């Protein structure tokens, strides 16, 4: 929807914003503020995508061959099983898309909008024409609009124009109409790089300038991660080996029986039963469900690839303010006229000596602040200066000078109706204020010493100055004013109570926490000591600037605190850590943090104080800005990876057992111990349910006491493959033993073979179910206090047991699966061989623990 600029009212009434009822009516009329809504794949699209997978096409082809050559009833049953696998896979894929859509909504940009007379944060998709929107540094303009208020506002319109040079915007009425219209217009998708402003929305969605040229903004990306690519490559290799074994099986069967058709059908059946077609799909499901679990911890995942990287993080670079601290700034100390005053809740009033300091501190601050520090100044002013002549509601802000890397100070020029001059208020870093006031060396040294003393108490320290402007043309820079020093202010941001415990957890997990802050070294040291970081050595931004890369590489592993760091220096620190082979997670909140967030292995943006620029480039967003939440996300990442290994461990060892059982029986001259439908039944029931339940395993007690995972580590390495192979061989051997016992007791006639197959079928099914408990850990005993911590696994086991019993009890299933009710002797054999895997694996784990008691634990 769009309106012409002439239709955009800029009256005082329009600037009050819309009511909620009016906004809802307009949204119903014009729709959501989206350029190109992300297409939501329906069931049919998901199903067709699954059917395009080569593995599923192979299974359907095998079903067709079986239908042409084999028994029609069995062939149709096999086809039904395959279609059921396809349907379940499509269901999981559709569920994954729903999870990603939900995450996309959570990660959607938000806008500050004036509704019902109050400033509210709403989803940018809910904006309508006529809304009054506040934009500030780091925010992406959420719709086309016309400015009616601007303070030092500059925007990057490169998304539209391709020009990366920021464009100044203003409401300067002295400009001619064409120029004024251009400087007042803001466009959807532009990035605010400096200043603040208010605009009235003139166009939304596809009617914006960006929408008309067909651009679109990204959300959650679904590109396959390295782990998913590894899984797919492994499954393809496993499938080739399995198919080769099936061909050998068919050849061996033909060699023994002299018949090709039964041999071909046996090979096809085995291939249909043991191909691990579900692993790539389940990997995606794991990642999506993992993203949902992490979201419950307060972390929104914008890129699923980041979930697997969480388990590899070895260096965690964090800011101090709002991450280790509570981001609840309060004015705690005032220093003026050589006196110091502690400000707390018990202070009833402020001495006259400090009134001017607080007055000019408020004048140098934003009128409608978003930053917690600016809000703290306004709160202190209202509390201690309310009702005095030191608060100036009738003064108008007429000139602004913004902070810059070269001069970390900002100034406001005011028009005072009762004064013949313009008061100028300035605040900034103490050294910058000393420079602006042209203090001599002795005065500067004394003030910086006082500042350092305040900072050593964990305070963030700013200086305040004042000047008078006679009323002629405003100077181009702050240095041209004759500033006078007013005082120092110290702000306290309390440390989060859980920060020290979270840092200790990182230390135990082999993760190095590094504080990178723009605050003073003494302030950073005080906070670091309180949360348990090594505060003995601090590197300042100035010292870092003097180091070359070789010098930085030599000291970076010995320093945990970097203070007075410029945003672009964060990028250099990230590069230095990565050169050492570290996997780096970096937190950030500002526009200038974006390069470091992008360069880090995991960029983490702050959800509360973070700008849209930081959120868009980040891999994850912390909704509460809490360091402990980041640590929880790292633990969840480790859990997800560990559970993927458990799933693969269980599924492949069961599949290998099925291959080996049939193949070995033919080689040693036994009849086939499992029928075609029995193999598919096991593949559908006792393979899948416990494997999926293992994905929901809770965290191991020592999960955060292990070193980070090596990023070069293969998903399925040689040692892991060896474990899968010997445990699959064990399950196969127990099944063949049970089958041989049945043949010896009941003979080799058809009835005897039927009973022996039933014994083998039940033995392998129950043994696989029992083996799920072995797969929970590669070294811990099954018989621990954690035996009952995964209720989903117990539910899966119970389901499998009930279905296995139904397979020999329900007449339709007995006829379909060719089973017969076992005798008491049969149950004894089945029970002994089914429970044996636990005893055998327990002995193996005991031997492993004894050999590596002093070594780091193997993957669990």
Which of 144, 319, 435, 601 is catalytic? The answer is 319
φ, ψ for residue 652 (rounded to 5)? -70, -35
* Alpha helices (H) along 275-403: 279-296, 305-310, 355-363, 372-385
315 in Cβ contact with 585 (< 8 Å): yes
Q: Which residue is listed with tokens 């559908």?
A: 684
* Residue 656, CA distances (Å) to 224, 692, 732 in order: 27, 18, 8
Q: Give the C-alpha separation, 708 to 704, whole Å.
A: 9
Neighbours of 168 (CB within 10 A): 13
Q: Which of 150, 152, 145 is nearest to 199 (CA)?
A: 145
Q: Give the C-alpha separation, 685 to 666, whole Å.
A: 25
Pairing of strands 110-115, 118-123: antiparallel
Q: Which of 455, 470, 568, 578 is nearest to 521 (CA)?
A: 455
Q: Which residue is listed with tokens 């983490």?
A: 604
Give SS3 for 199: strand
Q: Give the C-alpha separation, 129 to 144, whole Å.
A: 9
Question: DSSP string of 4-17?
Answer: -GGGS--STTGGG-
Neighbours of 855 (CB within 10 A): 9
Any catalytic annotation for residue 319?
yes
Q: How many helices (H) and strands (E) does the chain have?
A: 30, 22
CB neighbour burial string for 280-312, b if at least 16 within 10 angstroms, e if fewer? bbbbbbbbbbbbbbbbebbbbbbbbbbbbbbbb
586, β-bridge pairs: 317, 603
Give SS3 for 206: helix
* Residue 123, CA distances (Å) to 108, 291, 364, 402, 526 in order: 7, 21, 31, 29, 39
Q: Which of 700, 825, 687 is nearest to 755 (CA)?
A: 825
* Residue 385, CA distances (Å) to 351, 355, 360, 821 in order: 11, 7, 11, 90
State the catalytic residues.
Answer: 319
């Amino acid at each position: 929807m769009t309106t012409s600029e002439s239709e955009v009212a800029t009256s005082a009434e329009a600037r009050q914003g819309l009511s909620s009822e009016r906004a809802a009516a307009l949204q119903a009329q014009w729709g959501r503020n989206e350029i190109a809504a992300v297409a939501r794949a329906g069931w049919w699209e998901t199903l067709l995508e699954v059917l395009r997978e080569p593995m599923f096409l192979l299974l359907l082809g095998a079903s067709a061959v079986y239908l042409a050559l084999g028994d029609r009833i069995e062939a149709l049953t096999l086809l039904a099983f395959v279609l059921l696998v396809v349907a379940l896979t499509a269901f999981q894929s559709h569920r994954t898309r729903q999870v990603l859509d939900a995450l996309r909504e959570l990660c959607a940009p938000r806008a500050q909008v004036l509704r019902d007379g109050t400033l509210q944060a709403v989803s940018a998709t809910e904006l309508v024409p006529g809304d009054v929107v506040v934009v500030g540094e780091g925010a992406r303009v959420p719709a086309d609009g016309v400015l009616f208020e601007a303070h030092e506002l500059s925007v990057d319109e490169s998304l539209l124009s391709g020009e990366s040079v920021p464009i100044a915007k203003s409401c300067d009425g002295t400009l001619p109409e064409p120029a004024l219209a251009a400087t007042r217009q803001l466009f959807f998708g532009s990035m605010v790089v400096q200043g603040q402003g208010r605009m009235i929305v003139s166009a939304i969605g596809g009617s914006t300038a960006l929408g008309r040229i067909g651009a679109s903004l990204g959300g959650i990306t679904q590109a396959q991660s390295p782990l998913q690519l590894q899984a797919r490559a492994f499954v393809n290799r496993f499938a080739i080996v399995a198919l080769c074994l099936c061909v050998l099986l068919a050849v061996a069967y033909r060699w023994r029986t002299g018949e090709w058709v039964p041999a071909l059908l046996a090979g096809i059946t085995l291939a249909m039963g043991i191909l691990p077609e579900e692993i790539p799909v389940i990997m995606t499901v794991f990642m999506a469900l993992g993203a949902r679990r992490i979201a419950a911890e307060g972390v929104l995942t914008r890129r699923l690839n980041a979930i697997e990287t969480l388990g590899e993080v070895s260096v965690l670079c964090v800011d101090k303010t709002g991450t280790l601290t509570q981001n609840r700034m309060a004015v705690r100390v005032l220093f003026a006229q050589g006196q110091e005053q502690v400000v707390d809740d018990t202070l009833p009033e402020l001495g006259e000596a400090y009134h001017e300091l607080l007055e000019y501190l408020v004048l140098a601050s934003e009128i409608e602040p978003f930053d917690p520090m600016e809000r703290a100044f306004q709160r202190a002013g209202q509390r201690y200066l309310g009702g005095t002549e030191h608060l100036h509601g009738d003064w108008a802000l007429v000139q602004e000078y913004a902070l810059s890397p070269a001069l970390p100070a900002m100034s406001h020029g005011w028009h005072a109706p009762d004064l013949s001059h313009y008061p100028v208020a300035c605040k900034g870093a103490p050294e910058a204020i000393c420079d602006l006031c042209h203090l001599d060396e002795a005065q500067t040294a004394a003030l910086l010493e006082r500042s350092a003393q305040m900072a050593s108490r964990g305070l963030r320290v700013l200086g305040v100055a004042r000047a008078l402007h006679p009323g002629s043309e405003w100077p181009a820079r702050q240095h041209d004013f004759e500033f006078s020093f007013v005082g120092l202010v110290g702000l306290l941001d309390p440390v989060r109570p859980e920060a020290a415990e979270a840092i200790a957890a990182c230390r135990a997990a082999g993760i190095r926490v590094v504080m990178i802050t723009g605050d003073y070294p003494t302030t950073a040291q005080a906070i670091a000591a309180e949360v348990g970081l090594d505060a003995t050595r601090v590197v300042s931004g100035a010292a870092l600037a003097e180091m070359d890369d070789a010098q930085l590489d030599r000291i970076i592993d010995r320093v945990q605190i970097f203070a007075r760091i410029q945003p672009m220096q964060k990028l250099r620190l990230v590069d230095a850590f990565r050169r050492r082979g570290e996997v780096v997670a970096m937190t950030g909140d500002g526009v200038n943090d974006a390069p470091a967030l992008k360069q880090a292995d995991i960029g983490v943006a702050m959800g509360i104080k973070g700008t849209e620029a930081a959120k868009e480039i980040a891999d994850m967003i912390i909704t509460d800005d809490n360091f402990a939440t980041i640590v929880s996300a790292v633990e969840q990442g480790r859990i997800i990876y560990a559970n993927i290994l458990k799933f693969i461990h269980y599924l492949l060892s069961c599949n290998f057992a099925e291959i080996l059982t049939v193949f070995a029986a033919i080689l040693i001259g036994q009849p086939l111990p499992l029928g075609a439908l029995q193999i598919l039944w096991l593949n559908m029931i006792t393979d899948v349910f416990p494997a999926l339940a293992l994905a929901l395993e809770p965290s191991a007690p020592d999960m955060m006491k292990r070193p980070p995972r090596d990023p070069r580590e293969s998903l399925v390495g040689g040692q892991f493959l060896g474990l899968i192979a010997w445990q699959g061989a064990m399950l196969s051997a127990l099944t063949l033993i049970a089958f041989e016992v049945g043949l010896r007791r009941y003979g080799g006639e058809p009835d005897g073979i039927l009973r022996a197959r039933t014994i083998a079928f039940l033995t392998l099914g129950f043994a696989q179910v029992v083996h799920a408990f072995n797969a929970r850990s590669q070294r811990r005993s099954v018989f621990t206090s954690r035996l009952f911590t995964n209720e989903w696994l117990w539910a899966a086991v119970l389901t499998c047991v009930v279905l296995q019993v139904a397979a020999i009890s329900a007449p339709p299933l007995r006829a379909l699966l060719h089973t017969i009710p076992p005798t008491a002797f049969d149950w004894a054999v089945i029970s002994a061989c089914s429970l044996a895997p636990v005893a055998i694996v327990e002995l193996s784990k005991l031997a492993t623990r004894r050999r590596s008691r002093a070594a780091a634990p193997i993957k669990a």
